[in-house]
Structure formats: C-alpha cells, structure tokens
Structure 1
C-alpha cells in the first residue's frame, strides 16, 4: 500500500513508520522537523508539514495518491492541548482535496466516556472494571481533561465526516517491545487492559487497514 503517516517522528509514529517499511509499504512521512527522522529507514519520502499552517497545499500533496492515512498525532505536553483536533481537521481537509478516504488515528481509552463540547455524555463503558470506573478513570479525566476533550472532539470530527475512519484507543502507553499479543474490543474498553506498548498500538493501526470491519469503529487495544 501507499501510506502517508502524520506525526511520524512521535512515539507511536516512529513505530508506524518502521513497521510499515518492514511490511513493504510505500511510505510518506509528514513531520514538522525532518531532522527528527535522521537514521530512519531509507526509501521513505519525508515531507515537512505544519498542521497548523493556513495553506493546505503541502498536506494535500503529502496525501496525494495514498491508499490510506495514519496519524499518531497527540499532545506532548499540557501546552499542546487542542493540537490533535486542529491537526486532524487539517488532515481531513487535505484528504478530501485529493479524494483519499481511509484514515486510522490514535485516541485514548478514557475517551469512550468523554463528551465533546455540546454533545451528550456517552453511556458507561461496559469494558471498564470497578478500578478504572471509580478510581483511575475519574483521576485521569480530571488531570488530563483538556486532552481527553480534545480527543473527543477529534473523534466527533471523524464521525461527522464521510471518510472511512478507524479510531484506535489505547490505555497507558509503554515503551516495551512489540508483542503482537494485545487484545482489542469494538466500541468499548478492553476489560482489565491497563497498559499497552506503543509498538503494539502501531501494529494494531496498520492491521486495521486490512480489516474492513474496523471502518467507522472505535477499537480499544490493550495487553
């Protein structure tokens, strides 16, 4: 496949890039700073792209001819609040401009019960156990509320689009090596799934491209 990967220099993006190249895909990597990809696999087309720039042409050119787009976009600090929805909106605009339909993005497990502004609060997540529902979840949603609301906005943006989207929702991310032994669940969290390696999230995102049943679905992933 011909793939375009946004935020390819980030924690999940780097795994997406390497796994996609290893699988034989034709990859375009979109990053703000190409220097951050020094030492990455040869043959990757690297595009400098600022998702906040008002000119959509560079992003449209980056997705031109792609079979699918993958986004590892996410905040690196509290100061980055809002970056995911703004960036995803720019990606969607670029895809529409070039007639590209398939997109897989990363979100977060707690977003299953977080509402975007103006939207009704979702029903309780049947995948959440008591520990997550009554202790860990409320703490995380208080500390990281701005980030989760932004991810909820991102998901709503995709739901309202005409694209063939998949949202992958991991819990706490780790830097452990790829296991390939993760679990998934559709429209709910993975029961008892508290952590997952970034490498496994990338693997799940790439695998979704070969699973038409993931289209227009939120897929939780955890070990």
Structure 2
C-alpha cells in the first residue's frame, strides 16, 4: 500500500513509519527535518505549524499524490504549538481532496467526545465508555490542564466530519513508550472502560490496522490496554 505519513518523526509518527516500512508499504514521510527520519523513505519537507493553510496545502499535494491513504500523527509539542492539529489537518484535507485521495487516519484523544467545539457545541457530558473515576475526577482535571490542546483536537474532528472523505480518528488515553503488544482493546465511537493508558507503538499499530477495516470509516475509535 502507498502511504503518506504526516509528522513521521514524532512519538507516534516514528512508530507508524517503522511499522509501515517493516510491513513493506511504500511510504512518503512529511516532516520538518528529514534528517530525523528513522527509516530511509521518500521525504517531503513541510512545517505544519505554519499559519498559511493554502500554502501548506500546495506543499502537501506532492506528498499525497497517488497515495492510498494518509496517516496524520500531528499534535503540539508545546503549548506554543496549540492549533497545529486543526490547522495542519485543514491543509491535509485540502491536499488530499485536490489529489483525489479519500482515506485519512488521524490521532485524536480519548476525552474529545465530551469537548465542545464549533461543530459540536453541546457534546455528551460523559463518554459511554468512561467509568465513575474518569467521569467525575480524572476527566475534568485532564481537560482543564489540556484545555487548549483538546479544543484544537475537537476542531480537527469537526473538519473531518464536515469533509466527504473516508476518515478515522483514533482516540488514545495517556500515551506511554512501552513496546508494541498488539493486544490492546478497541471500541468504535467510545472509550474503553478502565482504559487509562496505551503505548504509542500500539496506537501506531491500530492506525495501520484500520486501513483494512471499512467499519471504522467516518468513526472515532477508542483504544486502550
């Protein structure tokens, strides 16, 4: 399969890249610094933190042309980069639409189903997969601490829902650097009961697996240990 991986040098992006190459996929990586790539693949240099969305879209068209799917691992590395997920995804959607690519998989976060956004100003108060501790203690604390980050991801999901593309948004809880297990739990449209952590390697594994799961198209997918 011909894949374009956006933000391929980040925590999850590096894992997606390494696993995709190991599986024999034809990979193009979109990165700010190609020298940091973990595998010798075709690279397109683009700064997805830039504010000029039309210019970014033009730069990305080369990277996505002919791809079977685009996997985006965009996320802010600091509070100063809040907004990169929605802004970068807007550029990605412009590029894939122009190139005729339909399949897009992105990384979101477990709490986003309950975060208000312009497209969902009144989301459910609780995720159906969350238990008492997450609903009433951990969830509110996490959302307060990461308010700007989660607002950005919620806007990103708005963009996906408004598109005509075959998208999937993977929603992990707290990420760890533990090794790939392949034995994580998943649920379409909700979080996992008691699912507090998952490794970046397993999130990457799921992002590649959903490419062969048409039931995940136009859905969010929860993942956890």
| 2: CA distance, partners of 1:216 / 1:86 | 20
Q: Where in structure 2 are there 5+ consecutive unaligned residues? A: none
SS at match of 1:21: helix
Match of 1:142 among 144, 161, 164: 144
Aligned to 1:61: 62
| 1: CA distance, partners of 2:94 / 2:84 | 15
> What stretches of structure 1 move > 4 A for 4+ residues in a row?
none
Size of the alignment, in residue pairs?
A: 220
Aligned to 1:174: 176
Aligned to 1:94: 95
- The answer on 1:47 being equivalent to 2:41 is no
| 2: CA distance, partners of 1:30 / 1:163 | 20
Aligned to 1:21: 21
CA contact (8 A) 2:118 2:158 kept: no
CA contact (8 A) 2:120 2:158 kept: no
Equivalences for 1:200-219 in 2 at 5 Å?
200-219=202-221
| 2: CA distance, partners of 1:202 / 1:135 | 28
* RMSD value, Cα: 1.0
SS at match of 1:27: strand
Give the TM-score normalised by structure 2. 0.95
Deviation at 1:119, TM superposition (A): 2.9
Deviation at 1:120, TM superposition (A): 2.6
Q: Where in structure 1 are there 5+ consecutive unaligned residues? A: none
Residue by residue over 1:145-173, the C-alpha shift from the partner in whole angstroms, topping out at 9 and shown as x without a partner, is: 11101100000100000000000000000
